Structure 1
Amino acid sequence: MTAITHHVSDELLDAFVTGSLAHPFAVVVAAHLSLCDACRARAEAAEMLGGMLLDRIAPAAVSRGAQDRVMAALDHAPPAPPIAGSGIFPAPVMQALDGRPPKWRMLGGGIRQQILSADADGSLRLLYIPPGRAVPEHSHGGLELTLVLQGSFSDSEGRFGTGDVEIARNDIDHQPIAGPEGPCICLAATDAPLRFRALIPRLLQPLFRI
């Protein structure tokens, strides 16, 4: 793997550690942490600091009902073991895939996707972009996180290789182009539809749920 040069921001990392990050983005961050030693160390440090702060909080009384619910939950069967990573897909991605290989859907021009989840919190998808192929130019109505799992892409913000994360907000207008070394496979999360410049992608947008 090439050196990772584009990392998760402090804001996103703090939200992930505290559990307040929306699910699609949390999966991208978790997958990045599984590939990036530097960001994983930052997350572990933040968790340790949070634990130290919790230790300083005075204990609060727990109602009898809450105690009974906790004890009842402990009596339930243990959860199934987590799904391991496979090939280029880290464990968080394989969990989103339910342990199965991707089921690609063609978008045109050789570009494929699989939607892993889509709800009020946003959407999470895998993208397959053939070498040298460009994604239609677009901007954003919110936040887009894109983690490279294989290959690379380049846009107005630079080059992003395996393990890199691009953080694109509504002030970025870009057209990612896959590198020539091979197909680029990405994990992407958004919380609003993309804003395509060209007419055809805009017309197809409801069909492809982008």
Structure 2
Amino acid sequence: MSAISHHAPDALLAAYASGNLGHPYALAVAAHISLCLDCRAAYEAHQAAGGAVLEGGGPAAMSAGRREALLAMLDAPRKPEPAFRPSGIFPGPIMQALNGQPPRWRSLGMGNRQCILSANRQGSSRLLYIAPGQAVPEHSHNGLELTLVLQGSFSDSTGRFGVGDLEVANDDLDHQPIADEGAPCICLAATDAPLRFSSLIPRLLQPIFRI
């Protein structure tokens, strides 16, 4: 794996450690820290700090009904979630989102494909396959977009992103990612709102591809 030079911002790691990230972003951050030793260490530091805060806090008053509900929840049997191991270029968190199966690609045209992993009120997460030398249509954002590279690389106006790199694009960025030559660029993209495409054709196709 090439050296990772684009990392998750500390605020994202803190939100993930505290359980305050929606599923699409949580998946992207989980997959990134499974590849990035630096961000994994920062994440674990946030976990440790949160644990220290909880241990240092005093007892909280709780009504009898809420206490009984909490104890019942703790006593209820739970089926453990299966642990998914990395497979090929896909880290464990993405294999879990794929339910252990290979991606089911859908053509976007021009040699590009996508596999939607989730799409709901919290946003969407999808795998993108971009053929070498091909571009994603120019777009800006209605919110935040996280893009994690799993294979190959892409470049845009902010720089080059290789395997393990995480691009954080907000509503101030208007860009056109282009897959570099070599291996096809496969990445995970997470958004909380539809993209804003600059040209007409992508806008017309947007409802069909759910981007």
Query: TM-score with structure 2 length normalisation?
Result: 0.95
Counterpart in 1 of 2:191?
Answer: 190
Counterpart in 1 of 2:164?
Answer: 163
Where do residues 1-210 of structure 1 align in structure 2 (5 Å cutoff)? 1-73=1-73, 74-210=75-211
Say which is worse superposed, 50-59 or 162-171, in terms of deviation. Answer: 50-59
3-state secondary structure, aligned to 2:176: coil
**How far apart in 1 are the matches of 2:87 and 2:67?**
40
**How far apart in 1 are the matches of 2:22 and 2:82?**
23
Report the AA paired with residue 4 of structure 2.
I
Report the AA paired with residue 203 of structure 2.
R
**Once the two structures are superposed, what CA deviation does each residue of 1:33-76 show, in whole Å capped at 9, x if it has no partner?**
00000000000011111111111100124444344334433341
**How far apart in 2 are the matches of 1:44 and 1:102?**
30
The total of aligned residue pairs comes to 210
**How far apart in 2 are the matches of 1:63 and 1:84?**
42
How far apart are residue 10 of structure 1 and its match? Answer: 1.1
Runs of 4+ aligned residues of structure 1 deviating over 4 Å after TM superposition are none
Report the AA paired with residue 104 of structure 1.
W
**How far apart in 2 are the matches of 1:77 and 1:159?**
44
Report the AA paired with residue 55 of structure 1.
E
Report the AA paired with residue 152 of structure 1.
S
Superposed CA RMSD in Å reads 1.2
**How far apart in 1 are the matches of 2:184 and 2:55?**
48
Q: Unpaired runs of 5+ in structure 1? A: none
Query: TM-score with structure 1 length normalisation?
Result: 0.96
Report the AA paired with residue 3 of structure 2.
A
State the percentage of identical aligned residues: 63
**How far apart in 1 are the matches of 2:206 and 2:9?**
29
3-state secondary structure, aligned to 1:28: helix
3-state secondary structure, aligned to 2:53: helix
